[in-house]
């Protein structure tokens, strides 16, 4: 049987600080150079909107405003195949602190110290739920590698300006992404195994897109709200139970003590 080789992505996933294409270049590139092929197919219907929001972000950059995460990671959530997604975790927008945002909701660069307080609370609940020790790093890439889609509703932010890129077009893209994840079907026409984990009101806004997908909803892990229903919600063990009930393998939520070496993105050319 002939093997079809997909084109390699333009850049690897890591690290957030490496040089790579800028946002103006991203806005001109074919979708299949920006994300996994099945994601490119799924998001083709909002390609014009994606190019528009990337052009907006390019304008921010051209005006001397620092945008986070860098262009090389802004679409990182779509680099793992859509077909492999088992768990959807929805965040708000990227961390506005330089060096923190890496293109995956709640995750930070492996060298970031201290880790953000929301992520520290996620680790606290992970230990309470599954007995897994917290890590000193905040790299959640190992979850993404297993089909956990860590998707922010808004995929970029101005440095120091939390929420500064809301209402600029990203919501259209991520709405299409959530609908694509929830709309997948197996060969026999059944819904593909999926569990949605919704923390906080922003995440809850996608619930109408999820159809019959099992949903685990609670307060956001932020220090402002974690004590109002996030702690004790046991999302990790409950997600695995729901996956197994759908005939899917559970997620190994234990993160490596030391993240895998991060490789710089390949350059354009």
- Rounded mean pLDDT of 41-60? 98
Q: Judge whether 5 lies within some domain.
A: no
Q: Does the pLDDT value for residue 236 go beyond 50?
A: yes
pLDDT tens for residues 180-218?
999 999 999 999 999 999 999 999 999 999 999 999 999
Q: How many domains does the chain have?
A: 1
Q: Looking at residue 14, what is its pLDDT?
A: 40
Percent of the chain at pLDDT exceeding 70? 89
Q: What is the CATH number of the domain that holds 62?
A: 3.40.470.10
pLDDT band, very low/low/confident/very high, at 264 (cuts 50, 70, 90): very low
Q: Judge whether 12 lies within some domain.
A: no
Instruction: Name the β-bridge partners of 150.
Output: 89
2: Cβ–Cβ under 8 A, 6 or more apart, which residues? none
Q: Which of 150, 166, 161 shows the shortest CA–CA distance to 107? A: 150
- CA dist., res. 133 & res. 141, Å (int): 17
Q: Looking at residue 46, what is its pLDDT?
A: 98
Q: Does the pLDDT value for residue 161 go beyond 60?
A: yes
Q: Judge whether 122 lies within some domain.
A: yes
Q: Looking at residue 245, what is its pLDDT?
A: 98
Q: Judge whether 46 lies within some domain.
A: yes
Q: Judge whether 7 lies within some domain.
A: no
Residue found under tokens 């790299």: 139
- CA dist., res. 27 & res. 29, Å (int): 6
Q: Looking at residue 16, what is its pLDDT?
A: 39
Domain extent for 192: 23-245
Where b means 16+ CB within 10 Å and e means fewer, 179-213 reads bbbbebeeeeeeebbbbbbbbbebbeebeebbeeb
More confident residue, 195 or 18: 195
Q: Does the pLDDT value for residue 239 go beyond 50?
A: yes
* HSE toward the beta carbon, residue 197, CA cutoff 13 A: 27
Q: Does the pLDDT value for residue 10 go beyond 50?
A: no
pLDDT band, very low/low/confident/very high, at 99 (cuts 50, 70, 90): confident
Q: Which residues have a catalytic role annotated? A: 93
Q: Judge whether 229 lies within some domain.
A: yes
Q: Which long-range contacts (CB under 8 A, 24 or more apart) does 188-195 make?
A: 192/83, 193/86, 193/243, 193/246, 193/247, 193/248, 194/85, 194/86, 194/87, 194/88, 194/246, 195/86, 195/87, 195/88, 195/239, 195/242, 195/243
- Rounded mean pLDDT of 249-254? 98
Whether the CB-CB separation of 69 and 105 falls below 8 Å is answered with: no
pTM (two decimals): 0.90
3-state secondary structure the chain: CCCCCCCCCCCCCCCCCCCCCCHHHHCCCCHHHCCCHHHHHHCHHHHHHHHHHHHHHHHHHHCCCCEECCHHHCCHHHCCCHHHCCEEEEECCCCCCCCCECCCCCCECCCCCCCCHHHHHHHHHHHHHHCCCCCCCCCCHHHHHCCEEEEECCCCEECCECCCCCCCCHHHHHHHHHHHHHCCECCCCCECCCEEEEECHHHHCCHHHCCCCCEEEECCCCCCCHHHCCCCCCHHHHHHHHHHHCCCCCCCCCCCCCCCCCCCCCCCC
Q: Does the pLDDT value for residue 67 go beyond 80?
A: yes
Task: Kindly report the average pLDDT of the chain as a whole number.
Answer: 91
Q: Judge whether 206 lies within some domain.
A: yes
Q: Judge whether 16 lies within some domain.
A: no
Q: Looking at residue 259, what is its pLDDT?
A: 83
CB atoms within 10 A of CB 24: 15
């Amino acid at each position: 049987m002939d093997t079809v080789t997909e084109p390699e992505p333009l850049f690897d996933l890591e690290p957030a600080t490496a040089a790579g294409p800028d946002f103006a270049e991203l806005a001109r590139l074919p979708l299949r150079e920006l994300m996994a092929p099945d994601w490119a197919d799924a998001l083709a219907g909002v390609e014009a909107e994606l190019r528009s929001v990337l052009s907006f972000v390019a304008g921010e950059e051209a005006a001397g405003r620092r945008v986070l995460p860098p262009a090389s990671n802004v679409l990182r959530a779509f680099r793992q195949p859509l077909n492999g997604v088992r768990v959807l975790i929805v965040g708000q927008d990227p961390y506005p602190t330089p060096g923190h945002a890496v293109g995956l909701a709640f995750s930070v660069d492996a060298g970031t110290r201290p880790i953000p307080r929301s992520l520290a609370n996620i680790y606290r609940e992970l230990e309470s739920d599954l007995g897994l020790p917290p890590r000193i790093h905040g790299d959640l890439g190992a979850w993404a590698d297993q089909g956990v889609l860590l998707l922010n509703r808004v995929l970029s932010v101005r440095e120091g300006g939390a929420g500064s890129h809301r209402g600029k077009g990203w919501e259209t893209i991520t709405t299409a992404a959530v609908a694509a994840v929830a709309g997948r079907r197996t060969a026999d026409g059944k819904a593909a195994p999926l569990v949605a984990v919704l923390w906080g009101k922003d995440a809850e806004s996608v619930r109408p897109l999820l159809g019959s997908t099992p949903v685990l909803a609670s307060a956001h892990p932020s220090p402002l709200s974690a004590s109002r229903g996030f702690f004790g919600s046991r999302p990790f063990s409950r997600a695995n139970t729901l996956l197994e009930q759908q005939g899917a393998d559970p997620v190994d939520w234990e993160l490596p003590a030391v993240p895998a070496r991060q490789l710089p993105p390949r350059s354009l050319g």
